[in-house]
């Protein structure tokens, strides 16, 4: 039986060993990008107006939504328009959108239709938002700092699509892109949670006070995300 020379075996072994670190680096890089991270007490900081700085959130579930509750906390001194939460699908870039139009006026969109809420606001100050919607009744709610705004009718009978791109810091005018600097957030976002059902009023108040109810769609304590551009993770200023 033919046996390769010892020198050839050693050369192949060395070549394989040289390749291993690169493979491991790629695996580790991918693992870090998609790893679940506990961001309790932390915030994403968007320190500059830009069109290329944002965070993509990867949901725990991939399903059509007949109802949802989405909560987050924002700290910004912007008086201009900016996006707080942008959920797009390939067929609809405004499946779910929470958007500040100006001081005291916020737009909430589902299925590319929107309602506006008048919100008491002092700039700058950290603000906690919970937006809820259910298809059966078509009722949309916006809770600000634990207080409900007037309920509105929005897309009764609709279903939010799957295969989403969920973006913080920018508004999507295309699937995962189409960003505009003039709509970018400058400030902090944290405590992002989402459920595939509508929380009860008492539960929303508990979330505002720092409690949770096992979020099954997005969980700040076990978040999968990817940062792009100038985004920094820092301790929350409102903690």
pLDDT tens digits, one per residue of 129-165: 999 999 999 999 999 999 999 999 999 999 999 999 9
Tokens of 102: 């100006």
- Total of domains in the chain: 2
Q: Are residues 59 and 21 in the same domain?
A: no
Tell me what the mean pLDDT of segment 57-79 comes to: 97
Same domain, 30 and 49: no
Pair 115, 25 in one domain = no
Kindly state whether residues 92 and 117 are assigned to the same domain. yes
Residue 199 has phi, psi (to 5 degrees) of -70, 150
Task: Say if residue 67 is in the same domain as residue 180.
Answer: yes
Same domain assignment for residues 5 and 98:
no
Instruction: Judge if 97 and 149 occupy the same domain.
Output: yes
Tell me what pLDDT residue 35 has: 72
CA distance 204 to 27: 39
Q: Look at residues 38, 132, 119, 133 and name the one whose alpha carbon lies nearest to residue 74.
A: 119
pLDDT-derived band at 174, boundaries 50, 70, 90: very high
Distance CA 155, CA 135 (A): 7
Co-location of 77 and 188 in the same domain: yes
Cα 39 from Cα 47, distance rounded (Å): 18
Domain that holds residue 102: 42-235
pTM of the model: 0.86
Mean per-residue pLDDT over the chain, rounded: 89
Do 110 and 11 reside in the same domain of the chain? Answer: no
pLDDT at 17 over 70: no
User: For residue 108, is pLDDT > 90?
Assistant: yes
Mean pLDDT throughout 98-109?
Answer: 97
Q: Are residues 102 and 181 in the same domain?
A: yes
CATH of the domain at 107: 2.60.120.200
Cβ atoms within 10 Å of 181's Cβ, excluding its own: 12
Confidence of residue 34 (pLDDT cuts 50, 70, 90): low
Q: Judge if 126 and 58 occupy the same domain.
A: yes
pLDDT digits (tens, 9 = 90+) for 217-233: 999 999 999 999 999 99
**Are 6 and 72 in a shared domain?**
no
């Amino acid at each position: 039986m033919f046996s390769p020379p010892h020198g050839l075996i050693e050369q192949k072994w060395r070549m394989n060993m040289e390749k291993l670190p690169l493979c491991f680096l790629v695996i580790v890089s991918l693992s870090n990008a998609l790893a679940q991270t506990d961001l309790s007490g932390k915030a994403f900081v968007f320190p500059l107006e830009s069109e290329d700085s944002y965070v993509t959130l990867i949901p725990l579930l991939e399903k059509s939504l007949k109802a949802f509750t989405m909560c987050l906390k924002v700290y910004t001194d912007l008086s201009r328009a900016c996006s707080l939460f942008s959920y797009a699908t390939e067929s609809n870039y405004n499946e779910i959108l929470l958007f500040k139009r100006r001081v005291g006026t916020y737009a909430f969109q589902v299925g590319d239709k929107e309602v506006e809420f008048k919100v008491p606001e002092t700039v700058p100050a950290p603000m906690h938002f919970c937006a809820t919607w259910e298809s059966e009744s078509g009722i949309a709610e916006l809770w600000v700092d634990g207080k409900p705004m007037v309920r509105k009718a929005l897309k009764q009978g609709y279903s939010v699509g799957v295969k989403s791109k969920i973006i913080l810091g920018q508004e999507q005018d295309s699937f995962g892109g189409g960003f505009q600097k003039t709509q970018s957030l400058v400030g902090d976002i944290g405590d992002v949670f989402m459920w595939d059902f509508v929380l009860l009023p008492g539960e929303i108040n508990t979330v505002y006070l720092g409690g949770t109810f096992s979020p099954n769609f997005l969980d700040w304590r076990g978040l999968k995300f990817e940062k792009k551009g100038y985004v920094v993770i820092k301790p929350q200023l409102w903690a």
